[in-house]
A and B are shown apart, each in its own frame.
Chain A
Amino acid sequence: MSFTGLIVEKPGSLSLIQDFGRFGLAHLGITQGGPVDDYAYSWANHLLENPVNCSTIEITLGNTSFKALEDCHLAICGGDLNASINGEPISNWSDFSLRKGQTLKFGMPRNGLRSYLAVKGGFEVEKHLGSTSTVVRESLGGIARNGDALKAGDIIGFKPHPVPTRKSRQMTFRFKPDYNLPITLRVIEGYQHNDFSPESVSEFYSGHFEISPNSNRMGYRLEGQMITPPYEGILSEGIALGSIQIPNDGNPIILLNDHQTIGGYPKFGCVARIDLPRLAQAKPGQSVSFVQGDRQGLQDVWCQWAQFFGY
């Protein structure tokens, strides 16, 4: 373990260490965790030429600051949280250098909710059950291996490395999502889909939904159109990432990375993997609608993405 790193001055409302996630333990009830916007997470590591599983910091809602104990090479991607160094704004979706003693600050979100901060070589965090990902509810991961979010005074280590002399590297404009736009999610129908009435199915696709304030890394709740489930409950079964649960109150819940591993609500299907980052960056009140997706086509795109980033 190195003794150099970033010191947390202000942790903000939720700053979490995240690597790619915790896999192979779902049969014990242990969820995957990991970045809810895996696209932004992957770009942040990619800009630094890091291997894909490097630990990053997922910063939600901003109001966060870190001071460098040593010169370092960093990247930020994802939600635009008005990042600045000693008061000078820095570009989102880019890499940059932070000098010893300088403060990197995140303000209020301007676009999206969550920013991913990566360092060259990855933050040095000891793994907990095979991963550094922080899952608060399960008391797993993070720097103290107990599921705690970052606190003021925490030091997140990195290996000393040279900072680049070249100009900052920016992602091209066409790859940058605008997280504030209304969201259309592609749905892969499955699970109990065939048991929903034709009326419920058509209401689901024609309905307008809004993100509920009661949304988090476990799941995003939607309000607006109520969908009648075909029955109250089922024998619990395994939950896939992006599953669309329809509980008795008719308000859909889309399950994200910290979801419980099994559940007993009827499910309409799954949101496409490549659409989940847009959902995970959405703010309460933002509007959402659904369209039918083509599994094979979405699988091809997901595989290209996975191969590009080297998953």
Chain B
Amino acid sequence: MNQRQFSISPISECSILVRFHEEITVEHIGELAHQITDKLSHIVMNVVPSYRTILIDYLPFRIHESQILQELNHIIARFDVQSMDNKQPNYISIPVYYSDETALDLDRFKDIGISLAQIIELHTQSVFTVSAIGFAPGFAFLSDVPKALQMPRHKTPRTYVPAGCVAIADSKTAVYPSDSPGGWNIIGRTPISLFTDTPPFIPFEVGDKVTFGSITKQEYINLGGKL
């Protein structure tokens, strides 16, 4: 990667933010975050990739700031953007029961002329990329929802969204990994658990690809889904 495609800035005593130029994809950023974690494991506390940035929390009493800046510059500059072209991305497929009883915001889509069948078709035909993980443990922001399915979030969030709900907010889709409040538009539910408290905790990382598959009510229940 050439020096024009990224910038590295210290933002606190123990954090550094790397910003990337638009031509660097989130797949590159996810892979780079891995390399930084592996190469600097003895001095970094957290490495967080998200959309166009990587945040690195490190221990300034183990390495001087100027030295870690140099090492980061070295790792990123040496990263071959083309090398990702031959790399098979990690694909995850998530089964979803789309229905009147699980698509809690179906009416909002009907209001703009989108039927349940169209939601299923558009949502299952897309290949999404994990662009960021946050908000709650294992909550992945998946990009990008086809234009016709984009829907602004609720002005007033629901106080309770059950775990497994599959939802849309603007150009992003996501699965709620645990029960929580939330303002996204719910279009279905998955029976699989996306966050567990044993490693690897979640099935995907930033840069991975995610697809959704439609399942019947019976399949949903057989896979352990609850209604």
Contacts and interface: CB of A to CB of B under 8 A. Distances in A.
Contact of B46 (A26, A128, A242, A311): A26
Interface stretch (B86-94, B113-121, B129-137, B149-157): B129-137
Interface string B177-193: 01000000000000000
Interface stretch (B47-55, B69-77, B100-108, B214-222): B47-55
Nearest to B140: A29
A306 B59 CA distance: 9
A273 B61 CA distance: 14
A-B CB proximity, top 7 nearest = A238-B55, A190-B11, A262-B134, A238-B48, A240-B15, A26-B46, A270-B12
A272 B12 CA distance: 7
A240 B48 CA distance: 10
A295 interface: yes
B139 interface: yes
A238 B52 contact: no
Contact of B13 (A140, A239, A272, A307): A272
A26 B58 CA distance: 13
Interface in B8-63: 9-15, 17, 33, 45-55, 57, 59-61
Given A24-B45, A27-B206, A302-B14, A240 B9 contact: no
A170 to B, nearest CB: 27
Contacts, number: 135
A28 B201 contact: yes
A27 B109 CA distance: 33
B111 interface: no
Given A238-B17, A262-B132, A303-B60, A269 B11 contact: yes
Nearest to A262: B134
B201 A191 contact: no
B191 to A, nearest CB: 20
Given A240-B11, A272-B13, A235 B202 contact: no
A299 B57 CA distance: 13
Contact of A295 (B13, B51, B133): B13
Contacts of A238: 17, 46, 48-50, 53-55
A261 interface: yes
A138 B137 contact: yes
A241 B56 CA distance: 12
B120 to A, nearest CB: 28
Contact of B134 (A29, A32, A137, A242): A29
A23 interface: yes
B137 A30 contact: yes
B197 interface: yes
Interface residues of B, number: 40
Contact of A29 (B15, B54, B133, B197): B133
A237 B12 contact: no
A139 B13 CA distance: 30
A190 B197 contact: no
Contacts of B208: none
A29 to B, nearest CB: 5
Given A139-B178, A299-B60, A28 B45 contact: no
A183 interface: no
A260 B135 contact: yes
A261 B134 contact: yes
Nearest to B33: A27
A23 B45 contact: yes
B137 A29 contact: yes
Interface in A177-191: 188, 190-191
Contacts of A298: 13
Given A23-B45, A27-B49, A28-B201, A239 B10 contact: no
Given A138-B136, A139-B178, A295-B10, A237 B50 contact: yes
A302 B65 CA distance: 13
Given A238-B50, A238-B53, A29 B138 contact: yes
Interface string A287-306: 00000000110110011001
B48 A261 contact: yes
B23 to A, nearest CB: 15
Given A26-B48, A242-B12, 11 more contacts: A25-B46, A26-B46, A188-B13, A190-B10, A237-B52, A238-B48, A238-B54, A239-B55, A240-B12, A269-B11, A273-B14
